[in-house]
């Protein structure tokens, strides 16, 4: 079979990256409860985690909460009266009640306020976390309010994405700040008009698999011609499967990784290859066919690294659980994978478009979003099936091909981080 | 009964009560609880009018759609939702999706 895209001089992407090896992979890191506990400590409690976008905090006093079950905590992210974005553990210093929530303490909330008041005994905190009011203060024993501020969490913003790091030393004393952490791969995306794409479709699902399995599912496209075969007209399915999938370009940047691939909206294809609904609304899996003004193509130096004319999308996988997919058509989507247990996680998928100028543009976005969901549902259920069988340990070694190089990298980085932390394996 | 849809779209009126739904959650639930015959009838009728409907709706600012135009827009959202059952799956739900779900917790309005 003739390759569509050239591979590195080493003969394969996998062999071009030092330390990955080509041996079959164990998925013990995705089924072992002990390993999961180590991951929580070694990775999620000391890595920059994306919890939202700056547009969620439009004015002073705007806040949102984020549940971080993997770290057994919840955080409040707030824009202060000095316009600083800060984050705090969502716990009242008095007797430990969750400070900010409505109706159901497990549900994330957002809003605007002048201060945070605990529902339990009305202790109040300023937007900067200082304790400002204690109910019946005279009843306490030598209590100095200055000693009981909210517990602050390291918080920083990259390209409008708000991150927290639960390591109290994060970004200080020579430890890695957010900008350094995002590294070369982050720099390659800087300048993307994220802040202008404010039309959001926000999807969520709890998935019965380890968080890494869903990352694996979306960081290789080897599965695409097979699992999603029915989303093509009948005449196209067989040739697509025959052709298989080849990534145009893969890159590893420290703990992060990316794949760049072909595609593009289907108006490039002969009509018999395109679904009638895509033609009717000029949209589909790759997004609206009509490009937004001034906002399509490779918009930053890190996009389309192969410089290929057939380029369609880049998938930037930021360690540990945050993905940005940039599409040729001038829109992007993000994925987040929040572990809930060794075999369960919360998946968040968000599509971001420019605000539509009319109903036709809005309908094209609707079709892209609905198509995303149809694909996601197929991917999601496959994962539960995989998790169940991995757990049997009937088979313990799995051969990965060159198009699955990013899966290999994720598992290696996770295992290395756990080993570095002292867990070992 | 008063019409839900704008004048000129009387042929789609029989489908409006069932399919002119404001949220994705309602539209997806309607798809899962509909027969393929019902969805194919709706799909065939609505697909014949997509160009007319888009031209009509594009005559208004998107955030100032009159109620009947908004009802038509919602009907087109349902057409998009139903199209996957009709064009791809030949059944209401995504094959092999089992108990998997994906909820749209926040969607643009309109």
Collapse the DSSP code of A112 into the 3-class scheme (helix H, G, I; strand E, B; otherwise coil) and give the result.
strand
- Taking CB atoms and an 8 Å cut-off, how many pairs form between chains A and B? 111
- A197 in the same domain as A120: no
Round to whole Å and give the CA distance between A271 and A382.
Answer: 31
Residue after which a domain boundary falls, among A126, A151, A185: A185
Alpha helices in A192-274 (DSSP H): 211-219, 224-227, 234-243
Test A359 with B58 for CB contact under 8 angstroms: yes
- A226 in the same domain as A358: yes
How distant is the Cα of B69 from the closest Cα of chain A, in angstroms? 10
Predicted pLDDT of residue A2: 56
Quote the Cα angle for A38-A41-A43, to 5°. 95
Predicted pLDDT of residue A219: 84
- A178 in the same domain as A106: yes
Residue B78 lies in a domain: yes
Residue A348 lies in a domain: yes
Round to whole Å and give the CA distance between A65 and A73.
Answer: 11
Distances in whole angstroms, Cα of residue A13 to Cα of each of A7, A255, A313, A409: 6, 16, 18, 11
CATH number of the CATH domain containing A267: 3.90.380.10
Write phi, then psi, for A223 (nearest 5 degrees).
-80, -20
Round to whole Å and give the CA distance between A327 and A298.
Answer: 8
How distant is the Cα of B72 from the closest Cα of chain A, in angstroms? 11
Is A388 at the interface with chain B, CB within 8 A?
no
- A252 in the same domain as A356: yes
How distant is the Cα of B66 from the closest Cα of chain A, in angstroms? 13
Instruction: Let me know how long chain B is.
Output: 110
- A179 in the same domain as A193: no
- Residues in B touching A347 (Cβ below 8 Å): 102
Round to whole Å and give the CA distance between B85 and B31.
Answer: 8
Residue B42 lies in a domain: yes
Round to whole Å and give the CA distance between A321 and A338.
Answer: 7
- Residues in B touching A281 (Cβ below 8 Å): 50, 80
pLDDT (tens, 9 = 90+) of chain A, 425 residues, equals: 456 788 999 999 999 998 999 999 999 999 999 999 999 999 999 999 999 999 999 999 999 999 999 999 999 999 999 999 999 999 999 999 999 999 999 999 999 999 999 999 999 999 999 999 999 999 999 999 999 999 999 999 999 999 999 998 888 877 889 999 999 999 999 999 999 999 999 999 999 999 999 999 888 877 776 666 666 666 666 666 666 778 889 999 999 999 999 876 666 667 777 899 999 999 998 999 998 876 788 899 999 999 988 899 999 999 999 999 999 999 999 999 999 999 999 999 999 999 999 999 999 999 999 999 998 888 887 898 999 999 999 999 999 999 999 999 999 999 999 999 875 44
Residue A351 lies in a domain: yes
- A205 in the same domain as A169: no
Is A273 at the interface with chain B, CB within 8 A?
no
- Residues in B touching A277 (Cβ below 8 Å): 47, 79-80, 83-84, 87
Interface probe with A: pick from B53, B104, B109, B110, most Cβ of A within 10 Å = B104
Residue B3 lies in a domain: no
Cis (ω within 30 of 0) for the bond into A11? no
Name the residue facing A203 among B51, B89, B102 (closest C-beta): B102
Residue B98 lies in a domain: no
Round to whole Å and give the CA distance between A25 and A342.
Answer: 18
Residue after which a domain boundary falls, among A130, A150, A185: A185
**pLDDT digits over A270-321, tens only?**
777 789 999 999 999 899 999 887 678 889 999 999 998 889 999 999 999 9
Cβ–Cβ under 8 Å, residues A42 and A34 = no
How distant is the Cα of A237 from the closest Cα of chain B, in angstroms? 12
Cβ–Cβ under 8 Å, residues A303 and A309 = no
Predicted pLDDT of residue A174: 75
- A105 in the same domain as A158: yes
Is A357 at the interface with chain B, CB within 8 A?
yes
Name the residue facing B96 among A203, A281, A378 (closest C-beta): A378
| Mean of pLDDT over chain A | 92
Residue B64 lies in a domain: yes
**Residue B43 lies in domain:** 14-89
- A323 in the same domain as A204: yes
The count of domains in chain B is 1
Residue after which a domain boundary falls, among A185, A203, A230: A185
pTM of the shown model:
0.94
How distant is the Cα of B64 from the closest Cα of chain A, in angstroms? 10
CATH number of the CATH domain containing A78: 2.102.10.10
The DSSP-derived string for A141-194 is SS--GGG----EEEEEEETTEEEEE-STTTTSTTPPPHHHHHHHHHHTTTT--G
The count of domains in chain A is 2
Residue A8 lies in a domain: no
Residue B1 lies in a domain: no
Residue A3 lies in a domain: no
CA A387 distance to own-chain centroid? 20
Test B102 with A204 for CB contact under 8 angstroms: yes
Write phi, then psi, for A115 (nearest 5 degrees).
-160, 165
Q: Which residue, A134, A107, A98, A114, is CA-closest to A63?
A: A114
Test A380 with B58 for CB contact under 8 angstroms: no
- A106 in the same domain as A128: yes
Name the residue facing A205 among B51, B96, B101 (closest C-beta): B101
Test B97 with A380 for CB contact under 8 angstroms: yes
- A158 in the same domain as A300: no
- A365 in the same domain as A238: yes
**Residue A248 lies in domain:** 13-30+189-421
- Which residues 220-259 of chain A have a CB within 8 Å of chain B? 230-231
- A411 in the same domain as A307: yes
Inter-helix orientation angle B67-83/B36-47, to 10°: 120
Name the residue facing B103 among A204, A374, A382 (closest C-beta): A204
Residue A200 lies in a domain: yes
Give the torsion through C-alpha atoms of A189, A191, A196, A197, to 10 deg: -10
């Amino acid at each position: 079979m003739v390759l569509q895209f050239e591979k590195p001089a080493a003969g394969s992407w996998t062999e071009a990256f030092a330390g990955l090896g080509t041996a079959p992979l164990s998925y013990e890191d995705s089924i072992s409860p002990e390993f999961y506990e180590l991951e929580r400590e070694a990775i999620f409690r000391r890595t920059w985690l994306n919890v939202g976008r700056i547009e969620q905090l439009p004015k002073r006093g705007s806040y949102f909460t984020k549940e971080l079950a993997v770290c057994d905590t919840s955080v409040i992210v707030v824009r202060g009266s000095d316009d600083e974005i800060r984050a705090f553990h969502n716990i009242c210093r008095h007797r430990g009640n969750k400070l900010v929530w409505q109706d159901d303490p497990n549900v994330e909330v957002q809003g605007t306020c002048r201060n945070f008041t605990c529902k339990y005994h009305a202790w109040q905190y300023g937007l900067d976390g200082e304790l400002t009011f204690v109910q019946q203060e005279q009843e306490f024993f030598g209590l100095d309010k200055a000693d009981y501020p909210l517990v602050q969490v390291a918080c920083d913003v990259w390209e409008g994405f708000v991150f927290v790091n639960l390591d109290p030393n994060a970004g200080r004393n020579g430890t890695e700040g957010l900008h350094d952490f995002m590294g070369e791969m982050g720099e390659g995306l800087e300048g993307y008009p994220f802040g202008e794409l404010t039309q959001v479709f926000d999807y969520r699902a709890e998935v019965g698999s380890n968080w890494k399995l869903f990352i694996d599912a979306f960081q290789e496209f080897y599965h695409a011609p097979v699992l999603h075969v029915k989303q093509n007209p009948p005449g196209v399915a067989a040739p697509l499967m025959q052709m298989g999938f080849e990534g145009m370009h893969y890159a590893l940047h420290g703990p992060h990784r990316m794949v760049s691939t072909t595609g593009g909206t289907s108006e490039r294809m002969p009509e018999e290859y395109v679904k009638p609904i895509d033609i009717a609304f000029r949209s589909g899996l790759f997004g609206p066919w009509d490009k937004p003004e001034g906002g399509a193509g490779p918009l930053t130096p890190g996009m389309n690294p192969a410089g290929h004319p057939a380029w369609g999308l880049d998938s930037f996988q930021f360690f540990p659980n945050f993905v940005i997919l940039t599409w040729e058509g001038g829109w992007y989507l993000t994925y987040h994978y929040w572990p809930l247990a060794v075999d369960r996680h919360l998946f968040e998928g968000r599509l971001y478009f420019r605000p539509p100028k009319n109903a036709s543009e809005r309908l094209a976005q609707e079709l892209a979003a609905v198509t995303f969901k149809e694909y996601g549902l197929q991917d999601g259920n496959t994962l539960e099936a995989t998790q169940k069988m991995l757990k049997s340990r009937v088979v313990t070694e799995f051969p990965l091909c060159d198009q699955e190089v990013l899966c290999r990298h994720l598992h290696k980085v996770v295992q290395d981080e756990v080993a570095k932390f002292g867990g070992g394996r | 009964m008063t019409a839900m849809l704008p004048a000129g779209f009387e042929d789609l009126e029989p489908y409006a009560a069932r399919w002119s739904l404001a949220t994705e959650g309602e539209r997806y639930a309607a798809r899962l609880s509909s027969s393929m015959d019902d969805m194919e009838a709706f799909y065939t009728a609505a697909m014949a009018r997509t160009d007319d409907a888009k031209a009509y709706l594009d005559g208004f600012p998107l955030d100032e759609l009159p109620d009947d135009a908004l009802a038509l827009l919602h009907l087109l959202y349902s057409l998009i939702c139903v199209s996957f059952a009709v064009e791809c799956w030949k059944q209401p739900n995504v094959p092999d999706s089992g108990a998997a779900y994906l909820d749209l917790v926040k969607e643009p309005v309109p």
